[in-house]
C-alpha cells in the first residue's frame, strides 16, 4: 500500500520537532517553576504540538481548549470565528496560549484581546511555527519552535482543507500533487 502526501519537501523532520518541543517544554518548566499555568490548546492545528509539549513539562499545569477558524484552503479569510471557548475563569491565572503557527498574527491578536480582557495574571503565547514575513498585525510569541519562510506548510497538526494533520513532520505543501 503506498500513501502519497503532497509535499515539495520535508521542512522540519520528526526528530527536529521532538528535540525542539523538549527544549520549549524545558524553558516553560523553568519559567513557570512553582506556578500552575493554564495551557490553552488552539484547535485544531495545535493538537499534536500541544500533547507533545505538555508530556514534557516538569511542572503542574491545567489544560483547556479553544477552537477557532479563519482559513479556507491556503488563504486566510482574515476573519476569526470562535467555535469553542475555554471552560474556566482565567482571572489571576498564568495563561499560555499554544498555537500551531503565527502567520498574519490576526488570530493571535484576537486571542490576546479576548483573553487579556478576562484579566489573567499573565498571558503568553507559544507557537510551533512563525512566518514573520507575512505579519499584518504585531504579535511576538514568547516561546517559538521554528521561524519559517512564507510558504504554506502541512503536517504535525497543520492542514490543507482538513487533511494531512496526521503527518509526523512539517512539509511544504505541493498544490500540484493534491
Ligand atoms: P494567522 O491568524 O494568519 O496568524 O493564522 C493563524 C492560523 O492560520 C493558524 O492557526 C493556522 O490554522 C492557519 N495557517 C497559517 N499558515 C498556515 C500554513 O502554512 N499551513 C496551515 N495552516 C496555516
- Residue 98, Cβ neighbours under 10 Å: how many? 28
**How far apart are the two ends of the chain, measured CA to CA in Å?**
18
Q: Mind listing the domains of the chain with CATH numbers?
A: 7-177 (3.40.50.2020)
Distance CA 167, CA 84 (A): 25
Ligand 1 site residues (CB inside 6 A) read: 45, 70-71, 76, 99-108, 152-153, 158
> What pLDDT, in 10s, does the model give residues 84-141?
999 999 999 999 999 999 999 999 999 999 999 999 999 999 999 999 999 999 999 9
Global confidence as pTM = 0.95
Residue 55 Cα to ligand 1 midpoint, Å, equals 24
H helical segments located in the chain: 14-31, 47-55, 106-116
Predicted confidence band at 173 (pLDDT cuts at 50, 70, 90)? very high
Distance CA 38, CA 115 (A): 12
> What pLDDT, in 10s, does the model give residues 104-118?
999 999 999 999 999
Minimum-distance ligand 1 atom for the alpha carbon of 45: 12
Q: What are the φ/ψ torsions at residue 161 (nearest 5 degrees)?
A: 45, 50
pLDDT (average), residues 38-65: 98
Nearest CA to ligand 1 atom 3: 104
pLDDT for the residue numbered 71: 62
Residue 66 Cα to ligand 1 midpoint, Å, equals 15
Amino acid at each position: 500500500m503506498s500513501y502519497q502526501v503532497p509535499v515539495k519537501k520535508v521542512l522540519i523532520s520528526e526528530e527536529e520537532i521532538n528535540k525542539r518541543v523538549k527544549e520549549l517544554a524545558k524553558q516553560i518548566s523553568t519559567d513557570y517553576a512553582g506556578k500552575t499555568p493554564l495551557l490553552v490548546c488552539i484547535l485544531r492545528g495545535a493538537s499534536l504540538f500541544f500533547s507533545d509539549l505538555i508530556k514534557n513539562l516538569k511542572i503542574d499545569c491545567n489544560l483547556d481548549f479553544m477552537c477557532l477558524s479563519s482559513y479556507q484552503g491556503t488563504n486566510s479569510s482574515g476573519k476569526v470565528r470562535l467555535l469553542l471557548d475555554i471552560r474556566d475563569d482565567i482571572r489571576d491565572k498564568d495563561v499560555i496560549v499554544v498555537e500551531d503557527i503565527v502567520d498574519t498574527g490576526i488570530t493571535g491578536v484576537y486571542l490576546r484581546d479576548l483573553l487579556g480582557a478576562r484579566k489573567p495574571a499573565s498571558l503568553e503565547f507559544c507557537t510551533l511555527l512563525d512566518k514573520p514575513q507575512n505579519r499584518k498585525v504585531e504579535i511576538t510569541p514568547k516561546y517559538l519552535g521554528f521561524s519559517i519562510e512564507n510558504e504554506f506548510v502541512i503536517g504535525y497538526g497543520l492542514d490543507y482543507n482538513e487533511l494531512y494533520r496526521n503527518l509526523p513532520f512539517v512539509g511544504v505543501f505541493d498544490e500540484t500533487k493534491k
